[in-house]
């Protein structure tokens, strides 16, 4: 602020230092906004989303004269620490884009505002316009803390040409059939391996386990539930892909996943919507007609296979100054035509279901598979410790795959470790109740 | 020897006055936080405690014990060790070679060479990282282009877990060797000319002169350089933070990077502080070993 | 003998030239890429001399990303730290060099051994502490931890010790008080080491990005390296613009270094000479 004063003083000196003034103007050009009667909303968005959302602002500011939205870009790689230090330093913005899985943490910190009251009065946002599983990730202890902005889940990307060559008219909808397909591909030397199940991720095993009825945690998310047969059997099935050599052991063998996909190194890959763009861009032109996407297979053919609920939501911080204006902006971002426009800019799948019709996403078979999958998505446990737990799962899955531990040993050790992580949670819950 | 009228009693107070500002700053903003970190390392200060201090507990040594059971910690230890064991000798050798060449009487334009070798030292690391990220680009990078001239297939330097750490080491050596080079030059300048003349009279060849005159006379300089380089390489952080963020597959995760992640990303302050003191312990041990070794050498 | 020397001379110069190319080439390429039209850097084989020269990336940086603002932030922070730490460190260095007081050696040894503690140990508690003091998201939060440094005190003390006591005594006999001696005698005589220290500190703070990244929340207060680190995550494709950003960040420091390199290199040598 004092620099603005300085700049103003300098201005009165005269034209003698016009070059200096020019640079000063450049430097202090941000200052003028304070002088007019503007309401400024501060919005933090991550990475490229921040760039794209900027382009939507003129329309909002035209519809809401007197309100100015200031977007600050936070790089994804530093987003988490930036938000936490901002919270600790009491300098959070008014609203922010937040990964669905981060919401529980900020609820624990009591940093974000419940939105139920706003929602009740809203003419624009209705829960029925959203995928149920995605909406669920924003609800903690029956209160709503975020509005989904864009969505994401994991589905199967596969080599259509290889699957049809084995006279499959459709992608298998159950794991048993899928496993047979994998064996056929490898046995008939169509591909080196069948599927990529990287050991540096946790989505694949967690999806399989949740499909098999595992809750992952038990007793109000206070203990690990990995020795439960629901998880154990899923893990056994997962490891089977490695045992039968249907899946390469180390990720380092696959230097370039796109190249390897095109080179018949593997045929199946469980991944998210961002890879649609990457596949278009990175696979050779001859490959473009040969790949497709499909919803996850399931263990019970009668029930569609579920997947994880991902994506980003918009949250409002408790210390937001202009709450009604902030809510107006959230509503603006949630409108179907704005959601559609944001998809066109960024390629992020819209959270508002109506926007899927507007953008033709439903008529495109590659994205249509995502649409079908999104009807059946489930949040991972909504506790702040989830990321740590997921890392532990990853670690013990790796041990099982490499045969360092039997499955029983691995799940027992996993329960033990996870119980230790959750010790603090149990302590806090007991403390509160006593 | 220091006969001193400044040491009269009232002067003591003036001495304290001179010391005050710097000492106060160092004690409040360095020693106090170090102590606080030590205390913190025995607590479970975490994200729950951030909003409410009563949610932190004293947990004894369990942070340290948990650390030893964390495979990521061992991965980081391994990476840091690799970085130190490969990086330090490379860096010290590059500095020594450059210093020797620049000290040669035959060389012209000494200051030009010296300056240009020193340039990477002063350059902002983040900017250097921007440049090197592109030098390592698998398709358009100069590095692969030059290797290509020798018929070597392009390598995805920063994307391949096998090469990423080596790529960072090369960059770190490039960035840092100029600093130690200057110290080596100072050390070389302190060697009396007469020793070289005597060696030449004895008919020693260049290698023998280096082996029996230069190297022994540089012992102290070399051990100083090795120690400081060792310490700074143990604290390897900025390069992986800006270049790879510890990836791919944690192949460039260092101890300090892990500490930063645990502390600021996941806000597990107690655990992170334990990690910091573990690193401190390692550096202390390395320093003591080095000093013991050096004494043995000298006397 | 002579022809052998001649051969040696050529070999050494060739080796040194290779070294020169290795150290300089990345900078040359950075500058050249920053003036190239967008997309030029993504060519194979790499182009070292741009076919057409453009200033568009610099224009974008200044107009759209208000780099001037960040430049100013960097200057404010670096200059403040350099100025304050110079005074504090030289005062303490003077006291350690020329005064006698109880447990002086102990205090000095304590400081020296503390140099082994990695700075990262203090980051977390320091953050919480400055937060309590209300310094988070202020320039002061970045400046305060840098206002005194053990290394700086050590370096200045080494230099002041070599100033003859007789100089001080003469002044004292003339009736000068301690502060006059410090200000009018010690500081002017210590000019070389002070310039060195100023350079060290200025470069260190100009190049630092982690602490400002943590302490500063609002992007209008960011320093150049922080902005560059942030840009790196988002504009990976805009190679030429990133290079222009790098040039703006590196250039001031290189100019300062080249102008004062004599002092700088001398300082490094002084720091390495043990007691």
Q: Which two tokens stand for residue C76?
A: 């404010």
Residue B250 has a pLDDT of: 83
Residue A406 has pLDDT above 60, yes or no: yes
Pairwise pLDDT comparison (B32 vs C47), residue with the higher score: B32
Is C232's pLDDT higher than 80? no
Query: Quick check: is A263 in a domain?
Result: yes
| A369 in any annotated domain | no
Angle subtended at Cα B216 by Cα B214 and Cα B218, rounded to the nearest 5 degrees:
65
Full domain range(s) for residue A20: 1-36
Q: Is A7 on the interface with C (CB under 8 A)?
A: no
A350 pLDDT higher than 90: yes
What is the model's pLDDT at position A3? 39
Q: Does B139 touch chain C (CB under 8 A)?
A: yes
Flag whether pLDDT at B67 surpasses 80: yes
pLDDT of residue B10: 53
CB-count exposure of residue A423 (10 Å: 0-12, 13-18, 19+): middle
Cα–Cα dist A83/C266, whole Å? 43
Any chains having at least 3 CB pairs less than 8 A from chain C are A, B
What pLDDT, on a 0 to 100 scale, did the predictor assign at position B297?
53
pLDDT band of A25, cuts 50, 70, 90: very low
Kindly state the tokens that stand for B287.
């320093």
Bridge partners of C67?
none
Could you read off the pLDDT of A313-323 as tens digits, one per residue? 999 999 998 89
Do the chains contact at C125 and B37, CB–CB below 8 Å? yes
| CB-closest option in A77, A255, A424 to B46 | A424
Task: Please give the residue of chain B at the shortest CA–CA distance from A428.
Answer: B55
Would A252 be classed as within a structural domain?
Answer: yes
Which residues is A313 bridged to in the sheet?
A: A98, A148
- Interchain pair C123, B263: CB under 8 A: yes
In a domain, A347, yes or no: yes
Asked if A109's CB is within 8 angstroms of B51's CB, the reply is: yes
Q: Are residues C163 and C189 in contact, defined by beta-carbon separation less than 8 angstroms? A: yes
Question: Would you call B124 an interface residue with chain C, using a CB distance cutoff of 8 Å?
Answer: yes
- pLDDT tens for C72-96 read 999 999 999 999 999 999 999 999 9
- pLDDT score of B174: 96
- Give the residue numbers spanning the domain of B102: 63-298
Q: What pLDDT does A176 receive?
A: 94
Pairing mode of beta strands A39-46, A95-99: parallel
What's the CATH code of the domain at B242? Answer: 1.10.3720.10
The pLDDT value given to residue B109: 87
d(C-alpha B29, C-alpha B55), whole Å: 26
Cα separation, A232 vs A409, in Å, equals 11
DSSP type of residue C48: S
Q: Give the CA distances from residue C9 to residues A158, A372, B103, B197, C22, in Å, rounded to whole numbers and listed in that order.
A: 63, 74, 12, 20, 20
User: Which parts of chain C are beta strand (E)?
Assistant: none
Dig out the tokens for C187 from the structure: 């500081």
CB proximity under 8 Å: B 86-105 to C: 98, 101-102, 104
| Residue A7 CB partners (closer than 8 Å, separation 6+) | A24, A25, A27, A28, A31
Is residue A244 over pLDDT 80?
yes
The residue ranking higher by pLDDT, B250 or B18, is B18
- Return d(Cα A368, Cα B168) in angstroms, integer: 42
Q: Under an 8 A CB cutoff, do A51 and C234 touch?
A: yes
Do A53 and A141 fall into the same domain?
yes
In a mutational test of the A interface, the residue from C65, C212, C215, C217 whose CB has the highest number of chain A CBs within 10 Å is C217
CA A203, A209, A212, A216 torsion: positive or negative? Answer: negative
Helix axes C67-98, A18-28, angle to 10 degrees: 100
Q: Which pLDDT score is estimated for A29?
A: 43
CATH 3.30.70.60 fits C57-272, yes or no: no
More confident residue, A184 or A86: A184
Tell how strand A139-140 and strand A307-308 pair up. unpaired
- Kindly state the tokens that stand for A420: 């230790």
Both structure tokens of C211: 């602490």
Structural domain spans, chain C: 1-54, 57-272
Among A141-145, A254-258, B79-83, C35-39, which stretch is predicted with the lowest mean pLDDT? A254-258
The mean pLDDT of B23-41, rounded to a whole number, is: 94
Residues of C in contact with A82 (CB under 8 A): 217
The complex's ipTM works out to: 0.85
Q: Determine contact, residues A159/A267, Cβ cutoff 8 Å.
A: yes
Confidence of residue B13 (pLDDT cuts 50, 70, 90): confident
For residues A134 and A178, membership in a common domain is answered with: no
Residue at B282 is within a domain: yes
Higher pLDDT, C270 or B284: B284
Residue A352 and residue A329 share a domain: yes
Q: Does B130 touch chain A (CB under 8 A)?
A: no
Q: Is C230–A78 a contact, with Cβ atoms under 8 angstroms apart?
A: yes
Residues in C closer than 8 angstroms to B16, CB to CB, are: 95, 101
With cut-offs at 50, 70 and 90, classify the pLDDT of residue A1.
Answer: very low
Which residues, including other chains, have CB under 8 Å from residue C144's CB and lie 6 or more apart?
Answer: B25, B29, C130, C135
pLDDT for res A53? 93
DSSP letters along A3-26, please? Answer: HHHHHHHHHHH-GGGHHHHHHHHH
Phi, psi of C148 (to 5 degrees): -150, 145
Q: What pLDDT is recorded for position B270?
A: 92
User: B95 phi and psi, to 5 degrees?
Assistant: -65, -45
- Tokens read off for A242: 């490695």
What is the band of B123 on the pLDDT scale with cuts at 50, 70, 90? very high
The minimum CA-CA distance between C191 and chain B, rounded to whole Å, is 18
Mean pLDDT (chain C) is: 86
- How much is the average pLDDT of A136-162? 95
CB contact under 8 A, A251 and B46: no
Same domain, A207 and A260: yes
Tokens of B118: 């020193």
Same domain assignment for residues A261 and A215? yes
With cut-offs at 50, 70 and 90, classify the pLDDT of residue A124: very high
Q: From CA C268, how far away is CA C151, in angstroms rounded?
A: 12
Which of A91-95, A392-396, C118-122 is predicted with the least confidence, judged by mean pLDDT? Answer: C118-122
Q: What is the pLDDT of residues A164-193, one digit of tens each?
A: 999 898 999 999 999 999 999 999 999 999
Show the CA angle centred on residue A33, arms to residues A32 and A34, nearest 5°. 90
As a dihedral over the C-alpha atoms of residue C163, residue C168, residue C169, residue C173, rounded to 10 degrees, the angle is 160
- Which phi and psi angles does A99 have, rounded to 5°? -60, 140
Residue to substitute from B7, B30, B286, interface C, most C β-carbons within 10 A: B30
B110 in contact with A, Cβ within 8 Å: no
Q: In this complex, do B135 and C148 lie within 8 Å of one another by their Cβ atoms?
A: no
Q: If contacts are CB pairs under 8 Å, which of residues 227-266 in chain C contact chain B?
A: 228-229, 232, 239, 242-243, 245-247, 249-250, 253-254, 257-258, 261, 265
Chains B–C, number of C-beta pairs less than 8 Å apart = 277
- Report if residue B117 sits inside a domain: yes
Per-residue confidence (pLDDT) for residue C168, from 0 to 100: 87
Which tokens in the block code for residue C231? 């840009």
Give the pLDDT band (50/70/90) at residue B155. Answer: confident
* Lowest model confidence (mean pLDDT) among A21-30, A207-216, C249-258: A21-30
Give the model confidence (pLDDT) of C35-75 as tens digits: 988 777 777 677 777 778 888 889 888 887 788 899 999 99
Residue A13 has pLDDT above 70, yes or no: no
* Per-residue pLDDT tens digits for C113-152: 888 787 878 888 999 899 889 898 899 999 999 999 998 9
| pLDDT higher than 70, residue A77 | yes
Q: Identify the pLDDT of residue B243.
A: 85
Q: Work out the pLDDT band at C205, boundaries 50, 70, 90.
A: very high
Could you tell me what percent of chain B has a pLDDT over 90? 36
Q: Is A375 part of any domain?
A: no
CA atoms within 13 A on the CB side of C88: 23
Q: Identify whether residues A165 and A213 lie together within a single domain.
A: yes
Q: Does residue C268 belong to the interface with chain B, where contact is any CB pair within 8 Å? A: yes
Nearest chain A residue to C216 by CA distance is: A86
| pLDDT for B291 beyond 90 | no
Q: Which residues of A touch C234 (CB under 8 A)?
A: 47-48, 50-51, 73, 75
A48 and A148 fall within a common domain:
yes
The mean per-residue pLDDT over the stretch C171-176 comes to 86
For residue A255, count CB atoms less than 10 angstroms from its CB and return exposed for 0-12, middle for 13-18, buried for 19 or more. middle
Give the pLDDT score at A253.
54
What is the CATH classification number for the domain harbouring A325? 3.40.190.10
- Residue C271 confidence class, pLDDT cut points 50, 70, 90: low
How many other C-beta atoms can be found within 10 angstroms of the C-beta atom of residue A131?
24
A216 in the same domain as A96: no
Higher per-residue confidence, B183 vs A120: A120
**Please, which pLDDT band fits residue B55 given cuts at 50, 70 and 90?**
confident
State the Cα–Cα distance between residues B234 and C88, nearest whole angstrom.
Answer: 29
pLDDT band of A194, cuts 50, 70, 90: very high
**Residues A255 and A403 both lie in one domain:** yes
B4 occurs within a structural domain: no
Dist CA A149 CA A151 (whole Å): 7
Chain-chain contact of C120 with B235 (C-beta, under 8 angstroms): yes
Predicted confidence at residue A76, as pLDDT, reads: 79
pLDDT of residue A236: 96
Interchain CB contact of B179 with C (< 8 Å): yes
Residue C16: is its pLDDT beyond 70? yes
Average pLDDT over residues B279-293: 85
Place of tokens 């994200």: B47
According to the model, what pLDDT value does residue C236 have? 57
**Number of domains present in the structure of chain A:** 3
Which residue is closest to C173 within chain B, CA to CA?
B5
Picking from C202, C271, C24, the residue whose alpha carbon sits closest to that of residue B119 is: C24
Averaged over B89-95, what is the pLDDT? 95
* More confident of the two residues B10 and A260: A260
pLDDT at A140: 94
**Do A160 and A30 belong together in one domain?**
no
> Residues B126-132: what's their mean pLDDT?
89
- The whole-number pLDDT of residue A35 equals 45
């Amino acid at each position: 602020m004092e620099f603005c004063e300085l700049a103003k003083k300098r201005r009165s000196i005269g034209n003698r230092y016009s070059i200096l003034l020019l640079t000063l103007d450049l430097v202090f050009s941000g200052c003028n906004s304070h002088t007019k009667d503007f309401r400024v909303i501060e919005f933090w968005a991550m990475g490229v989303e921040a760039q794209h959302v900027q382009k939507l602002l003129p329309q909002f500011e035209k519809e809401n004269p007197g309100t100015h939205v200031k977007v600050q870009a936070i790089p994804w790689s530093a987003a988490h620490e930036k938000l936490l230090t901002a919270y600790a330093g009491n300098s959070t913005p008014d609203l922010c884009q937040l990964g669905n899985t981060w919401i529980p943490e900020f609820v624990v910190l009591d940093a974000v505002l419940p939105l139920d009251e706003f929602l009740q009065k809203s003419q624009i946002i209705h829960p029925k316009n959203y995928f149920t599983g995605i909406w669920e990730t924003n609800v903690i202890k029956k209160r709503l803390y975020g509005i989904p902005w864009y969505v994401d889940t994991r589905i199967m990307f596969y080599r259509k040409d290889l699957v049809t060559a084995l006279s499959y008219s459709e992608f298998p909808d159950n794991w048993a059939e899928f496993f047979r397909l994998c064996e056929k591909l490898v046995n008939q030397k169509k591909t080196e391996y069948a599927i990529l199940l990287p050991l540096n991720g946790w989505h694949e095993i967690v999806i399989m386990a949740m499909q098999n009825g595992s809750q992952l945690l038990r007793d109000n998310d206070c203990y690990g539930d990995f020795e439960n047969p629901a998880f154990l059997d899923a893990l056994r099935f997962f490891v089977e892909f490695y045992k039968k050599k249907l899946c390469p052991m180390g990720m380092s063998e696959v230097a370039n996943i796109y190249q390897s996909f095109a080179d018949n190194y593997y045929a199946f890959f469980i991944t998210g919507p961002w890879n649609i763009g990457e596949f278009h861009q990175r696979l050779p032109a001859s490959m473009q007609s040969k790949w497709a996407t499909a919803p996850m297979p399931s263990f019970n053919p009668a029930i569609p296979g579920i997947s994880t609920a991902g994506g980003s939501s918009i949250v409002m911080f408790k210390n937001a100054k202009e709450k009604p204006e902030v809510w107006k902006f959230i509503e603006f971002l949630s409108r179907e035509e704005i959601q559609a426009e944001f998809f066109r800019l960024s390629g992020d799948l819209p959270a508002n279901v109506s926007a899927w019709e507007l953008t033709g996403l439903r008529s495109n078979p590659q994205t249509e598979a995502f649409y079908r999958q999104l009807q059946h998505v489930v949040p991972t446990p909504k506790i702040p410790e989830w990321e740590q737990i997921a890392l532990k799962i990853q670690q013990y899955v790796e041990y099982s795959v490499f045969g360092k531990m039997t499955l029983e040993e691995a799940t027992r050790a996993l329960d033990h470790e996870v119980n230790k992580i959750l010790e603090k949670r149990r302590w806090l819950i007991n403390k509160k109740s006593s | 020897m220091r006969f001193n009228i400044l040491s009269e009693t009232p002067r003591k107070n003036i001495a304290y006055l001179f010391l005050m500002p710097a000492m106060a700053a160092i004690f409040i903003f360095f020693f106090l936080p170090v102590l606080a970190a030590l205390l913190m390392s025995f607590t479970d200060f975490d994200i729950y405690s951030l909003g409410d201090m009563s949610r932190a507990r004293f947990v004894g040594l369990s942070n340290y014990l948990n650390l030893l059971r964390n495979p990521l910690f061992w991965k980081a230890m391994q990476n840091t060790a690799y970085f130190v064991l490969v990086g330090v000798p490379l860096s010290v050798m590059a500095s020594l070679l450059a210093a020797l060449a620049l000290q040669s009487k035959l060389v012209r334009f000494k200051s030009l060479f010296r300056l240009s070798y020193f340039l990477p030292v002063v350059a902002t690391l983040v900017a250097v990282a921007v440049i090197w990220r592109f030098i390592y680009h698998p398709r358009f990078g100069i590095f692969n282009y030059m290797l290509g001239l020798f018929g070597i297939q392009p390598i995805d330097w920063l994307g391949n877990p096998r090469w990423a750490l080596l790529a960072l080491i090369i960059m770190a050596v490039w960035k840092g060797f100029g600093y130690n080079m200057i110290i080596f030059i100072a050390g070389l300048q302190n060697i009396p000319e007469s020793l070289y003349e005597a060696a030449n009279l004895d008919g020693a060849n260049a290698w023998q002169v280096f082996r029996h005159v230069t190297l022994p006379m540089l012992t102290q300089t070399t051990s100083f350089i090795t120690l400081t380089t060792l310490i700074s390489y143990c604290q390897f952080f900025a390069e992986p933070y800006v270049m790879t963020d510890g990836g791919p597959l944690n192949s460039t995760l260092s101890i300090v990077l892990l500490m930063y992640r645990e502390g600021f990303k996941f806000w597990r302050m107690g655990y992170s502080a334990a990690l910091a003191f573990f690193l401190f312990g390692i550096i202390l041990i390395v320093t003591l070993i080095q000093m013991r070794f050096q004494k043995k050498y000298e006397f | 003998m002579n022809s052998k020397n001649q051969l040696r001379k050529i070999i050494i110069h060739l080796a040194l030239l290779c070294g020169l190319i290795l150290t300089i080439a990345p900078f040359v390429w950075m500058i050249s890429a920053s003036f190239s039209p967008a997309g030029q850097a993504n060519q194979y084989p790499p182009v070292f001399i741009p076919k057409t020269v453009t200033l568009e990336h610099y224009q974008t940086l200044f107009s759209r990303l208000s780099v001037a603002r960040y430049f100013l932030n960097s200057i404010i922070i670096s200059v403040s730290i350099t100025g304050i730490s110079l005074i504090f460190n030289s005062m303490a260095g003077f006291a350690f060099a020329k005064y006698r007081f109880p447990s002086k050696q102990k205090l000095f040894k304590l400081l020296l051994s503390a140099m082994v503690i990695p700075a990262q140990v203090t980051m977390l508690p320091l953050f919480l502490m400055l937060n309590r003091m209300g310094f988070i998201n202020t320039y002061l939060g970045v400046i305060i931890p840098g206002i005194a440094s053990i290394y700086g005190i050590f370096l200045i003390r080494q230099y002041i010790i070599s100033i003859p006591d007789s100089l001080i005594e003469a002044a004292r006999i003339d009736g000068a008080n301690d502060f006059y001696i410090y200000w009018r005698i010690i500081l002017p005589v210590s000019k070389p080491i002070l310039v060195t220290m100023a350079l060290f500190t200025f470069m260190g703070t100009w190049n630092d990005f982690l602490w400002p990244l943590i302490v500063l929340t609002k992007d209008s207060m960011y320093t150049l390296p922080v902005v560059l680190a942030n840009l790196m995550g988002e504009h990976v494709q805009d190679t030429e613009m990133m290079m222009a950003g790098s040039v703006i960040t590196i250039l001031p420091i290189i100019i300062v270094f080249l102008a004062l390199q004599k002092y700088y290199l001398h300082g490094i040598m002084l720091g390495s000479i043990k007691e």
